[in-house]
Structure 1
Amino acid sequence: MGEDDVRVWLVERTYSDDEQNLIILVYATPDGERYLRKERALTSFSDDRPTEAAIDADPGNLGTVEDLDEREWYAEEAARMQAEHDPDDHV
């Protein structure tokens, strides 16, 4: 973790409607104000890449959550993940 990195927690995992085999992961800060979106393409049925409960991200890669309802939901999900998992847990 770089000294300026920010810990973000997994708050959403969805499968893309537009492309097959694409998983979209959204991680957010505990206050729900900033987020990181990651896209992961599954290359085969045996593709086994773990998803961690939390990751450390460069602040420059984080977007701002403008929608207040979404911000609140992200904060609730981040708090739930923090309470139920260690950052390096695979979820």
Structure 2
Amino acid sequence: MDDTISLILHGCKLGEELALNLANLANQPENLSKSCEEIIRVFADAKERLSFHQPSTTLYPHPMLFRELRTYITSTILILSYRNG
């Protein structure tokens, strides 16, 4: 469980770094997308580890959640980049 908590904290750190660098990445959609993908991957790994420890508990019943989340984040960032650009 300590590894999972460390993974979640790492995801939070990546999110903070993205937020701090958003203005610089706003006109670099490919790098912005890669950052979002990495954050999503880290949290998806953490969720999978948590599900392994508690197989009867599903935090997110919809199997497409992370694909939808990735699309939402990417779209939001692209919209913000066009507004700021």
With the length of structure 2 as denominator, give the TM-score of the two structures.
Answer: 0.31
Q: Which has the higher contact order (CA 8 A, sep 6+)?
A: 2
With the length of structure 1 as denominator, give the TM-score of the two structures.
Answer: 0.29
Which of the pair is proportionally richer in helix? 2
Q: Which has the larger radius of gyration?
A: 2
